[in-house]
Chains A and B, each alone.
Chain A
Amino acid sequence: MIINFTVNGKSVSMDVMPQKRLLDFIREDLLLTGTKEGCAEGECGACTVILNKKAVHSCLTMTGQLDGGELMTVEGLEKDGELDVLQKMFIKKSAVQCGFCTSGMLMSAKALLMENPHPTQEEIKRAIAGNICRCGGYREIKEAVASAAEMEKEE
């Protein structure tokens, strides 16, 4: 099946296996390996990407569902060689330990800030409730997201 979509702002037309998991398509066909596989059943959030401006699990999505859509992966955060403010704040606040949950966390946080640039603590907590960090750095992660929102406000 030929599908048309954009990935990180670039238009693409590709012949795909529509029932393949979007997660596998992203990693194996688009060769974007920043998106991770954890549980493969919607529990851990490691595979989170932004599809049509919403955070979704790429492990529970079929590639065909991308047709006509807009996909953003963690690789799309960086613009012209400069990291997104969220990425900068994750580094600054030490919100990355082993890093396995990080791309999923970043995408959940990005989807939140796209819809709601000035979230409350509660809204940040809710947005990342489906992202599990085995290293347990939730406090730093929430601080990083709050600081990124603050920085955007100042700019």
Chain B
Amino acid sequence: MNSNYIQPRTRQELSQALGQMTENSRIIAGGTDLMASDHGRDSSTDLYISLFCLGDMAEIYREDGWVRIGAGAVHDAIEKNPIIQENFRALSMACSKVGSQQIRNKGTIGGNLVNASPAGDMLPCVCLFLGEVEILRADDTTYRMPARDFILGAGKTALKPKEALYAVWLPIQEGRSSTFVKLGSRKEVTIAQISMAVSWEKGEYFQKIEGYLGAVDTRPIYLEEMNHILSGRAVGREEREELVSSLRERIRVIRENRKRPPKLKITEAEQLYKERAVRSVVYDAIDQMEGES
């Protein structure tokens, strides 16, 4: 337990700290992923950089047609933020469904994205809203890239050594609505088995529908069929079932192409769970879309 610990109070102090990082150094934001795995006791860690006292990193504000969410913003703050509720309802809903109140009080959007768990609830939302990530380098400059290019796979991101995720930027798209559905293995405090984030243009019928499926593959999956199947018409049972079939097929292909067997020992019937359960996700999502329009 002899690792160093730096807790920067300004962006400049953070960039300086980034310059001191080695491959054995760790950034800690809320710690809800990191501490659950290493308890702060990983003796190979030479330096922890804690983002906990960086006020600017937690701020959420509007700027030039975008909303900027600091990487240190916690789920509870994002859920309750009026700008997010008004423009990015699916994100507010996703945050409201993360873990427990204690996790929402401490877990950050930045930690969620960098951890890049396939079940991470922020991933499909940030992709849905065409989000960009702003990355801070050790020389105190930043650059931006689309969130879709940032998330590379399970636990993998495009973040390079001596860099930190500094903020997430979402463009404001007028006249659109969105929703988020999460199916877990229990009702509360649950990790997603399947999640779906959907947005659409408001009007008599749903138009220009965008959708992402989370927790099914190593990265969120873009659902181009949603718009073909659901837009510009009254959506009935037939359209719902067509979407269910299409998503079921996608999940089957992913399951069959999986190289590694599932970590948990599960029966064959359990392996087919997601293919069956996706129906309720589709029905819930469309019910919520109809309720919102």
Contact = CB atoms under 8 A, between A and B. Distances in A.
Contacts of B50: 18, 62, 64-65
Interface string A43-58: 1010010000011110
B35 A62 contact: yes
Interface string A1-22: 1000000000000000111110
Interface in B1-37: 1, 3, 5, 7, 28, 30-32, 35-36
A59 to B, nearest CB: 7
B137 to A, nearest CB: 24
B1 A65 contact: no
B189 interface: yes
Given A19-B48, A65-B50, A108-B102, A59 B5 contact: no
B188 interface: yes
B237 interface: no
Contacts of B35: 21, 42, 59-62
Contacts of A1: 5
B92 to A, nearest CB: 15
A67 B188 CA distance: 32
A42 B107 CA distance: 11
Contact-size category for B: 20 to 34
Contact of B102 (A19, A57, A64, A65): A57
A85 interface: no
B31 A130 contact: no
Nearest to B74: A54
B53 A67 contact: yes
A18 B100 contact: no
B277 interface: no
B112 to A, nearest CB: 14
Given A1-B5, A54-B105, A130 B32 contact: no
A60 B102 CA distance: 10
Nearest to A41: B36
A62 B40 CA distance: 7
Contact of A65 (B3, B36, B52, B189): B52
Nearest to B9: A68
B101 A19 contact: no
A127 interface: yes
A56 B39 contact: no
A64 B31 CA distance: 12
A5 B3 CA distance: 22
A32 interface: no
Interface residues of A, number: 32
A60 B50 CA distance: 13
B40 A56 contact: no
Nearest to A39: B36
B5, B7, B100, most chain A CB atoms within 10 A: B100
Interface in A86-111: 108, 111
A13 B130 CA distance: 46
Contacts of B103: 42, 57, 130
Contacts of A41: 36
Given A54-B76, A62-B28, A130 B48 contact: no
Contact of B7 (A60, A67, A108, A131): A67
B106 interface: yes
Given A40-B39, A56-B106, A65 B100 contact: no
A134 interface: no
B171 interface: no
Interface in B173-224: 188-189
B36 A42 contact: yes
Nearest to A53: B105
B146 interface: no
B107 to A, nearest CB: 9
Given A56-B105, A64-B5, A65-B50, 5 more contacts: A48-B102, A54-B106, A60-B30, A67-B53, A127-B101
Interface of B: 1, 3, 5, 7, 28, 30-32, 35-36, 39-40, 48, 50, 52-53, 76, 99-103, 105-106, 188-189
Which 4 A-B pairs rank lowest in CB-CB distance, beginning with the nearest? Answer: A130-B100, A18-B5, A60-B35, A54-B105
